[in-house]
A and B are shown apart, each in its own frame.
Chain A
Amino acid sequence: MPNPPYDEMQAPDGSVRPHYRPLADWLARTPPDRIAQKREEAERAFHRVGITFAVYGDSGGAERLIPFDLIPRIIPAAEWDVLERGLRQRVAALNAFLDDIYHGQRILDAGLVPRERVLGNAQFRREMTGMRVPGGIYAHVAGVDVVRAGEGEFYVLEDNLRVPSGVSYMLENRKMMMRLLPEVFALQSIRPVQHYPDLLLENLRAVSPDGGDAPTVAVLTPGPYNSAYFEHSFLAQQMGVELCEGQDLVVRDDTVYMRTTRGPQRVHVIYRRVDDDFLDPRAFRADSMLGVPGLFAAYRAGRVTLANAIGTGVADDKSIYPYVPQIIRFYLDEEPVLRNVPTWMTWRDDDRAHVLAHLHELVVKEVHGAGGYGMLIGPASTASEREDFAARIRAHPDGYIAQPTLALSTCPTFVAAGVAPRHIDLRPYVLSGGTVKLVPGGLTRVALREGSLVVNSSQGGGTKDTWVLE
Chain B
Amino acid sequence: MTMLSRVANELYWIGRHFERAENTARLLDVTYRTSLLPYHLEEPGLAWAAPWAVPLIATGLATTYYQRHAALAAGQVLRFMIFDTANPSSIHSCLRAARESARSVRGSITSEMYEEINASWLEMRRYDHDHVERVGVQEFCDWVKMRSHLFRGVTFGTMLRGEAYHFLRLGTHLERADNTARILDTKYHLLLPSVHDVGGAVDYYQWQSLLTSVSGFEAYRKIYSDVITPRRVAELLILRRDMPRSLHACMSMIAETLHILCDDSHWELERLAGELHARLRFGRTEDIMRFGLHEYLVDFLGRISGLADEITRRFLAPA
Interface string of B61-74 (1 = CB under 8 A from A): 00000000000000
B318 beta carbon closer than 8 Å to chain A: yes
CB of B107 within 8 A of chain A? Answer: yes
The 8 A-B residue pairs whose C-beta atoms are closest, nearest first, are A237-B107, A262-B2, A224-B104, A260-B2, A259-B5, A261-B315, A261-B8, A248-B4
Q: Is the CB of A243 within 8 A of B107?
A: yes
**Residues B106 and A259 in contact, CB atoms below 8 Å apart:** no
The answer to the question of A50 belonging to the interface, with a C-beta cut-off of 8 Å to chain B, is yes
**B298 CB-CB contact with A under 8 Å:** no
How close is B168's CB to chain A, nearest CB, in angstroms?
13
Residues of A within 8 A of B316 (CB): 261
Chain A 196-253 interface residues, beta-carbon cutoff 8 Å to B = 223-224, 229, 233-234, 236-237, 242-245, 247-248
* Any A CB within 8 A of the CB of B310: no
How far apart are the CA atoms of A90 and B107 in the complex, in Å?
Answer: 34
Decide: B3 and A260 in contact? CB cutoff 8 A: yes
A261: which of B3, B100, B103, B114 is its contact (CB, 8 Å)? Answer: B3
* Contacts of B1-57 to chain A: CB distance below 8 A: 1-8
Interface members, chain A 293-329 (any B CB < 8 Å)? none
B261 adjacent to A261 (CB under 8 Å): yes
A243 to chain B: which residues have CB within 8 Å? 107
Determine if A50 and B118 form an interchain contact, defined as CB atoms under 8 angstroms apart: yes
A48 within 8 A of B: yes
Residues of A contacting B1 in the complex (Cβ-Cβ under 8 angstroms) = 261-262
Chain B residues, Cβ within 8 Å of A237 = 106-107
Residues on B with beta carbons closer than 8 Å to the beta carbon of A242: 3-4, 7
The reply on B84 being an interface residue by CB < 8 A is: no
Q: Shortest distance in angstroms between A55's beta carbon and chain B's nearest beta carbon?
A: 16
Contacts of A48 in B (CB 8 A): 115, 118
Whether B107 and A233, one on each chain, are in contact in the complex, defined by CB atoms closer than 8 angstroms, is yes
Q: How far is the CA of A262 from the CA of B1 in the complex (A)?
A: 8
CB distance from A122 to the nearest CB of B (A): 32
Of the residues A50, A248, A263, contact of B6 by C-beta under 8 Å: A248
Structural contact, B104 and A261, CB atoms closer than 8 A: no
Find the A residue at minimum CB distance from B111.
A49
A435 at the interface (CB under 8 A from B): no
Answer whether residue A411 sits at the interface, using C-beta atoms and an 8 A cutoff.
Answer: no
Decide if B103 touches A259 in the complex (CB within 8 Å).
Answer: no
- Indicate whether A223 sits within 8 Å of B4 (C-beta atoms), given known contacts A50-B114, A259-B318, A261-B261: no
Nearest residue, chain A, Cβ from B263: A262
Enumerate chain A residues within 8 angstroms of B8, measured Cβ to Cβ: 261
B163 within 8 A of A: yes
- Would you call A265 an interface residue if the criterion is a C-beta within 8 Å of the partner chain's C-beta atoms? yes
Could you say which residues of chain A place their CB within 8 Å of the CB of B6?
A: 245, 247-248, 259
Which residues of B are at the interface with A, using a C-beta cutoff of 8 A? 1-8, 100, 103-104, 106-107, 111, 114-115, 118, 163, 167, 261, 263, 315-316, 318
B115 and A244 contact, CB distance less than 8 A: no
Number of interface residues of A (CB under 8 A): 23
Q: Say yes or no: is A453 at the interface (Cβ < 8 Å to chain B).
A: no
A259→B4 CA distance, assembly (Å): 6
Nearest residue (CB) in A for B118 is A50
B106: chain A residues at CB < 8 Å are 50, 233, 237
- Cβ of B2 and Cβ of A265 under 8 Å apart? yes
On whether the beta carbons of B5 and A248 are closer than 8 Å, the reply is yes
A258 at the interface (CB under 8 A from B): yes
Q: How far is the CB of B164 from chain A (nearest CB, A)?
A: 10
Q: Which residues of B have CB within 8 Å of A259?
A: 4-6, 318
Known: A48-B115, A259-B6, A262-B1. 8 other contacts (CB 8 A): A224-B100, A233-B106, A237-B106, A237-B107, A247-B6, A248-B5, A259-B4, A261-B315
Most buried by A among B104, B114, B261: B104
- With both beta carbons as reference points, the residue of chain B lying nearest to A48 in the complex is identified as B115
> Which chain B positions have C-beta within 8 A of A233?
106-107
Residue of A nearest to B319 (CB): A259
A224 and B103 in contact, given A245-B6, A261-B3 (Cβ under 8 angstroms):
yes
Task: Tell whether A244 pairs with B111 under 8 Å between CB atoms, given A50-B106, A259-B318, A261-B261.
Answer: no
Measured CB to CB, the closest approach of chain B to A229, in angstroms, equals 8
Q: Which chain B residue has the least Cβ–Cβ distance from A238?
A: B107
Q: Which residues of B contact A260 (CB under 8 A)?
A: 2-5
**Contact between chains at B107 and A236 (CB < 8 Å):** yes
CA distance A233 to B2 in the complex (A): 18
Shortest distance in angstroms between B266's beta carbon and chain A's nearest beta carbon?
Answer: 10
Q: Tell me, in angstroms, the Cα distance from A383 to B7 when the chains sit together.
A: 54
Q: Which residue, A229, A237, A243, A244, has most C-beta atoms of chain B within 10 A?
A: A243
CB-based contact B4/A244 at 8 Å = yes
Let me know if A223 and B115 touch, CB within 8 A: no
Interface residues of A in 329-347 (CB under 8 A from B): none
Q: Which residue of A lies closest to B106 (CB)?
A: A233
Alpha-carbon gap, A262 to B261, bound state (A): 10
A244, B104: Cα distance in complex, Å: 10
A222: shortest Cβ distance to chain B, in Å? Answer: 12
How far, in angstroms, from A300 to B45 measured CA to CA in the complex?
76
Question: Could you tell me the distance in whole angstroms from the C-beta of B23 to the nearest C-beta in chain A?
Answer: 26
Chain A residues near B118 (CB, 8 Å)? 48, 50
Closest residue on chain B to residue A234 by CB atoms: B107
Residues of chain A contacted by B104 (CB below 8 angstroms): 223-224
Q: Which of A49, A223, A236, A261 contacts B5 (CB 8 A)?
A: A261
- A sample of 21 inter-chain contacts (CB < 8 A) reads A49-B115, A50-B106, A50-B118, A224-B100, A224-B103, A224-B104, A229-B103, A233-B107, A236-B107, A242-B3, A242-B4, A244-B4, A248-B4, A248-B6, A259-B5, A260-B3, A261-B2, A261-B4, A261-B261, A263-B318, A265-B2
Measured CB to CB, the nearest residue on chain B to A243 is B107
Q: Which of A224, A248, A262, A265 counts the most B-chain CB atoms under 10 A from its CB?
A: A262
